[in-house]
Structure formats: structure tokens, C-alpha cells
Amino acid sequence: MIQLSELIGHDAIDVATATTTGKVTGIGMVANQIVSVGIGGECVDASAIRGFDGDVVTYEPADGASGGPQPVPVDPRGSPVLDLHGDLLGTISDLTITNEGVVDAILLNDGHSLHGSRLRVIGSYAAIVTIDTP
């Protein structure tokens, strides 16, 4: 696993040319799965990423085929976390991400954490999570 704070700024390597193409600038999410990655000024489909947990991010460049528009990659640190009722639960300090690009945990500024499976969406303003059932 890797923390988002470690992933942002990692070099990205195109495995077809073995060249550095830029640094990771953000992630785009659908629920708790990374589906797009900002690399330099580009939005790369996460299916092209070989793995997230390493010293660099390696990926295969797209062949022009795309699964449609991807969420704009953002750095969600500092975003408020709201539940589906609109209640503020805290502010994202970091995310724990598996090698497969799944958010395992949402770490909050107050030291608490939420299970990553609760994540529904991360937008330009906030992250939305499901209601915690007792």
C-alpha cells in the first residue's frame, strides 16, 4: 500500500519508451477505485497503470481507445468529507491506496480514519461517503 502523499509527485515512466513523462499530480475516482491519474498535464486511464505501490508509477500509453471521459484527476488532500446527509465528518489528510488503485482508508486531519469502501465520490469541493451504520 501507498499513501496518496507519497504517490503525488512520483515520477511516471512510459514502459514503451522507458522515459519519464512527468510526475503524478492527482487522481480521479469512481467510488473507491482510481480510474484516472494526472501525469504532467495529461489524464491517463488508470487501466494503463501497472501498479501504484512502487518507487515510480509505470504505465503503458493509450492506443487512442478510451472508455469515455474520465473524472478529472485532483489532489483531494484538504477536502471536506461529507456523508450522504451532508454532515461534515472531517477533512482529508491522506488516503491509503492499494497497488490495484483501491482506496483502503481515508485519513482525516483529526487522526480518525474511515474505511475506503465508504467513499462514493471525490469532487472539486468535497469527498462524499456513505452513512456509517452502528
Domains contained in the chain, CATH given: 2-59 (2.30.30.240), 80-129 (no CATH)
pLDDT at position 105 is 97
- CA dist., res. 43 & res. 82, Å (int): 26
pLDDT at position 88 is 96
The residues, ordered by sequence, that sit 6+ positions from 58 with a Cβ below 8 Å of its Cβ are: 12, 13, 15, 49, 50, 51
Residue 17, pLDDT above cutoff 70: yes
What are the backbone dihedrals phi and psi of residue 5, each rounded to the nearest 5 degrees, phi first? -60, -25
Triad 18, 19, 24: Cα angle to 5°: 115
Q: How confident is the model at residue 134 (pLDDT cuts 50, 70, 90)?
A: low
- Calculate the dihedral angle through the C-alpha atoms of 40, 46, 50, 53, rounding to the nearest 10 degrees: 80
Q: How confident is the model at residue 54 (pLDDT cuts 50, 70, 90)?
A: confident
- CA dist., res. 51 & res. 57, Å (int): 7
pLDDT at position 110 is 95
The secondary structure of residue 32, as a DSSP letter, is T
Q: How confident is the model at residue 68 (pLDDT cuts 50, 70, 90)?
A: low
